[in-house]
Structure 1
Amino acid sequence: MRISTVTMFEQSVTSLNRQQGDFLKVSEQIASGRRVVNPSDDPQAASRAVGVDQARAVTQQFADSRVSARNSLSQAESVLNSVSDAVTRAKTLMVQASSDTLSDVDRESVASELRGVYEALLGQANATDGNGRYLFGGYQDSSAPFVKDAAGEVQYVGDTNVRRQRIDASRLMDVSDHGEAIFQSVPSGAGYVTEADAANAGSVTFKGPEVIDSGDAGYGERYRVSFDEDAAGDPTFSVEVYDEAGGTWNATALTEEAYNPEVTVVSVGGLKLTLEGEPAVGDSITMGPADEMNTDLFRTFEKAIAALETPNATESDRASQRNTLSSVMRELDNGLDNVLTVRASMGARLNELDVVDSVGGNRLLNYEQTLSDLVDLDYAEAISEYSLRQVGMQAAQKTFADMKGMSLFQFL
Structure 2
Amino acid sequence: MRISTQSFYEQSQTAMGSQQSNLLRVQQQIGAMTKVLAPSDDPLGATRALAISQSIALNSQYSASRSHATQTLTLEENALQSVTTVLQNIKSQLIAAGNGTMTDADRATIATTLQSSFDQLQGLANSDDGNGQFLFAGFKSGSAPFVKQANGSIVYAGDQGQRLMQVDVSRQMAGTDDGRSIFQTVQGGAGYVSASPVGNVGSGVFSATSVIDVTDPNYGQDFVISFPTATTYQVDTATVPPVAIVPATAYTADSAIQFGGLQISISGSPAVGDKFNVFTAKNAGANVFSAISDVITALKTPVDNAGPAAQAKLLNALSTGNRKITNAHDNVLTVRASVGSRLQELEALGSTGDSRNLSDKSYLSDLQDLDYATAIAEFYQRQTALQASQQTFVRIQQIALFNYL
Q: Structure 1 length normalisation: TM-score?
A: 0.92
Q: Which residue of the other structure, out of 308, 321, 325, is the alignment partner of 2:318?
A: 325
Match of 2:95 in 1: 95
**Which SS does the other structure have where 1:202 is aligned?**
coil
Aligned residue for 2:292, secondary structure, equals helix
Aligned to 2:391: 398
Shift in Å, 1:358: 2.4
2:209 aligned counterpart, secondary structure: strand
Cα deviation, 1:373-400, whole Å, max 9, x if unaligned, reads: 2222122211211121121122223223
State the one-letter code of the partner of 1:85. T
SS at match of 2:238: strand
CA distance in 1, matches of 2:270, 2:47: 87
3-state SS of 1:291 partner: coil
Matched, 1:259 2:223: no
Distance 1:359 1:215 in 2: 46
After superposition, what is the alpha-carbon deviation per residue over 1:168-221, rounded to whole angstroms, capped at 9, x for unaligned? 222222222111111111112112110111222222111111112222222212
1:114-263 to 2 correspondences below 5 Å: 114-229=114-229, 234-243=230-239, 246=240, 248=241, 250-260=242-252, 262-263=253-254
One-letter amino acid matched to 1:154: I
Query: Displacement, 1:138?
Result: 1.2
Alpha-carbon distance between aligned partners in 1 of 2:292 and 2:393, rounded to the nearest angstrom: 99
Aligned partner of 2:260: which letter?
Answer: G
1:352 corresponds to which of 345, 350, 369: 345
**Gap regions ≥5 residues in structure 1:** none
Q: Which residue of 2 aligns with 1:48?
A: 48
- Matched residues in 1 for 2:17 and 2:226: separation? 108
Matched, 1:37 2:34: no
Amino acid at match of 1:49: A
2:281 aligned residue (270, 290, 296)? 290
Question: For residues 63 and 11 of structure 1, what CA distance do their matches in structure 2 show?
Answer: 58
206-215 vs 14-23, greater mean Cα deviation: 14-23
Q: Is the partner of 1:272 in helix, strand or coil?
A: strand
Alignment identity in percent?
A: 39
> After superposition, what is the alpha-carbon deviation per residue over 1:289-329, rounded to whole angstroms, capped at 9, x for unaligned?
11221211111111111111111141222211111111111
- In the alignment, the residues of structure 2 paired with residue 214 and residue 324 of structure 1 have an alpha-carbon distance, to the nearest angstrom, of 27
Instruction: Count residues with an aligned counterpart.
Output: 403
Partner SS for 1:292 = coil
Report deviation, 1:254.
Answer: 2.6
1:275 to 249, 262, 266: 266
The DSSP-based 3-state class of the residue aligned with 1:217 is coil
Q: How much does 1:364 deviate? A: 2.0
Within 1, Cα distance between the matches of 2:397 and 2:390?
A: 11
Give me the whole-angstrom Cα distance separating, in 2, the residues matched to 1:255 and 1:402.
Answer: 127
**One-letter amino acid of the counterpart of residue 299, structure 1:** S
1:83 offset after TM fit, Å? Answer: 0.9
Q: Partners of 1:85 and 1:66 in 2: how far apart?
A: 28
Measured after TM superposition, the shift of residue 236 of structure 1 is 2.5
Partner amino acid for 1:191?
A: G
Query: Partners of 1:391 and 1:113 in 2: how far apart?
Result: 91
Q: 1:218-252: per-residue Cα shift (whole Å, max 9, x none)?
A: 221211111232xxxx5332222122xx3x4x222
SS of the residue corresponding to residue 207 of structure 2 reads strand
Question: What is the root-mean-square deviation in Å for CA atoms of aligned residues?
Answer: 1.9
State the distance in 2 between where 1:71 and 1:394 align: 63
Give the equivalent residue in structure 1 for 2:335. Answer: 342
Task: Establish whether residue 366 from structure 1 lines up as the match of residue 362 from structure 2.
Answer: no
Q: How does 1:51-130 map to 2 (within 5 A)?
A: 51-130=51-130
Cα displacement string for residues 242-275 of structure 1 (whole angstroms, at most 9, x for unaligned residues): 22xx3x4x22223332223x43432211211111
Deviation at 1:119, TM superposition (A): 0.8
CA distance in 2, matches of 1:408, 1:323: 130
Task: Give 1:411 deviation, angstroms.
Answer: 4.0
Secondary structure at the aligned position of 1:147 is classed as: strand
Residue 5 of structure 1: how far off its partner (Å): 4.5
Q: CA deviation at 1:409?
A: 4.3
State the alpha-carbon separation in 2 of the partners of residues 405 and 311 from structure 1: 126
**Cα separation, 2, equivalents of 1:349 and 1:333:** 25
- How many Å separate the matches in 2 of 1:52 and 1:299? 56
TM-score, scaled to structure 2: 0.93
Amino acid at match of 1:389: R
- The residue number in structure 1 matching 2:292 is 301
Residue 379 of structure 1 pairs with residue 372 of structure 2 = yes
